[in-house]
Amino acid sequence: MALRNIRIDEDPVLRKKARTVEKFDPALHRLLEDMADTMYDAPGIGLAAPQVGVLKRAIVFDTGDGLMEMINPEITDSEGEQIEIEGCLSVPGIYGKVSRPASIKVNYQDRKGIRHTMDANELQAVVICHETDHLFGKLFTDIATEYITAEELEESGNMHEETL
Ligand code: NI
């Protein structure tokens, strides 16, 4: 198990655009494994490579159905709207309401480079949108419509106290 440092707040790497992954090699596999370890340790339910200082288009997440790895994810379709409270491991202690599509279609590659398409909704759609935003240097605080405090979050019993 190898943990990497999670970049936070004003770290400039969080604002940079990640590059397309072209090599599906052991270095990529090590990165994905370290990202999963770091995410579970935090604990969080999603993590994008720029959050550990690596500008590659790779994300990991686990919304309760097991670990998912997505390389070069691209949201090709979206429908509807859901407004949920989000947090982010790179913006500790801050939670806010964000509008996301209710359902999305995402194309991605797995760690071997094989292409897949997935339909996602509810929390999974939120996480995939949040993490792919990180690949463009975008944070949820850029689009949050309202902030709430950690205390308010606790009182609301909202499921999104997990951070992404
Ligand atoms: Ni995040």
How close is the Cα of 9 to the center of ligand 1, in Å? 11
Burial class of 9 by CB neighbour count within 10 A (0 to 12, 13 to 18, 19+): exposed
- Structural domain including 102 reads 12-163
From 33, 69, 81, 131, active-site residue: 131
**For residues 4-11, average pLDDT:** 97
Is residue 109 in some structural domain? Answer: yes
Model confidence pLDDT, tens digit, residues 40-83? 999 999 999 999 999 999 999 999 999 999 999 999 999 999 99
How close is the Cα of 22 to the center of ligand 1, in Å? 24
Could you confirm whether 155 is annotated as catalytic?
Answer: no
The percentage of residues in the chain with a pLDDT greater than 90, rounded to a whole number, is 88
Torsion of CA 25, 31, 33, 36, to 10 degrees: -140
Is residue 92 in some structural domain? Answer: yes
Is residue 43 in some structural domain? Answer: yes
CATH number at residue 81: 3.90.45.10
**Residue 36's pLDDT band (boundaries 50, 70, 90)?**
very high
How close is the Cα of 114 to the center of ligand 1, in Å? 26
The whole-number pLDDT of residue 31 equals 98
Is residue 116 in some structural domain? Answer: yes
Domain count, the chain: 1
Return the sign of the alpha-carbon dihedral for residues 86, 84, 64, 17: negative
Q: Closest Cα to residue 164, out of 4, 1, 2, 6?
A: 6
